[in-house]
A and B are shown apart, each in its own frame.
Chain A
Amino acid sequence: AQSVTQLDSQVPVFEEAPVELRCNYSSSVSVYLFWYVQYPNQGLQLLLKYLSGSTLVKGINGFEAEFNKSQTSFHLRKPSVHISDTAEYFCAVTRNGGFKTIFGAGTRLFVKA
């Protein structure tokens, strides 16, 4: 069975600073990986996903993530955050050939002025 661990429950950061949100997964088979963002009082929306190919994936709003198979990680990064990036971020995994998506517990990103 797959599982997802988001290593930080909250990440405070100053505006224009870089940020990394960490995600590790466990699976005995290959997986598809996702990052979703949830703005206050809204549903989740897709930031980016890794299916295959290049391990560096670029998403919306300047975010990117790198798939590291040997470390079973899929960390999310942004070189310079804005106040508007304040939200909760969820890492998710689906087994290759499967259909159920497993979500991590979420990381709350606070961007301070």
Chain B
Amino acid sequence: DAEITQSPRHKITETGRQVTLACHQTWNHNNMFWYRQDLGHGLRLIHYSYGVQDTNKGEVSDGYSVSRSNTEDLPLTLESAASSQTSVYFCASSESGQGWDEQFFGPGTRLTVL
């Protein structure tokens, strides 16, 4: 069965360190998304990609970057981790990227920045 996997599932790091969260999907979807989930805020879009070599900023992109070198992977990098980036991060993908399309989510990565 097709799926989205994220690694690691849990990560503890220190302020100022660079951190990369992996996302891998076997749906063969062109469209991939990164969200962060915080209490009281729901999910907020960090970055998204509509295909290889395409990346776009979402509403909370400061301090984060992504790159898309193939269809399957969209790694999220925190350039210099800050305590405000402690959160649960979800990767998602969709077939069409259109507004009416369902998104498929990974299991999440819980990141703690000390």
**A residues with CB within 8 A of B:** 4, 6, 9, 32, 34, 36, 41-46, 49, 51, 90, 94-101, 103-106
Contact (A32, B99) CB under 8 Å given A43-B4, A43-B105: yes
Asked if A51 contacts B102 (CB within 8 A), the reply is: no
B90 touches A99 (CB 8 A): no
Using Cβ atoms and an 8 Å threshold, which residues of chain B touch A42?
107-108
**Nearest-CB distance from B78 to chain A (Å)?**
20
A32 to B102, CA, bound (A): 11
Range, interface on chain B: 20 to 34
- Report B-chain residues with C-beta under 8 Å of the C-beta of A49: 100, 102
Q: Is B43 an interface residue (CB 8 A)?
A: yes
User: Given the known A-B contacts A97-B99, A99-B98, are A43 and B108 also in contact in the complex, defined by CB atoms under 8 Å?
Assistant: yes
Say yes or no: A45-B99 contact (C-beta < 8 A), given A103-B42, A104-B42, A105-B40: no
Question: Which residues in B have some Cβ–Cβ distance to A below 8 Å?
Answer: 4, 35, 40-45, 48, 58, 90, 92, 97-100, 102-108
Taken together as a complex, chains A and B put the C-alpha atoms of A44 and B105 apart, in Å, by: 6
A-B contact sample (17 more), CB < 8 A, given A41-B107, A44-B90, A94-B99: A6-B42, A32-B99, A43-B4, A43-B106, A43-B108, A44-B43, A46-B102, A46-B103, A49-B102, A95-B99, A97-B99, A99-B99, A100-B45, A100-B99, A101-B103, A104-B42, A105-B40
Using CB atoms, name the residue of chain A closest to B102.
A46
Query: Which residues from B are CB-within-8-Å of A32?
Result: 99-100
Bound complex: CA of A34 vs CA of B4, how far in Å?
Answer: 20
Closest A residue, CB atoms, query B103: A101
A98 vs B100: C-alpha distance when bound (angstroms): 9
Question: Quick check: A94 and B42 within 8 Å, CB to CB?
Answer: no
B4 cross-chain contacts in A, Cβ below 8 A: 43
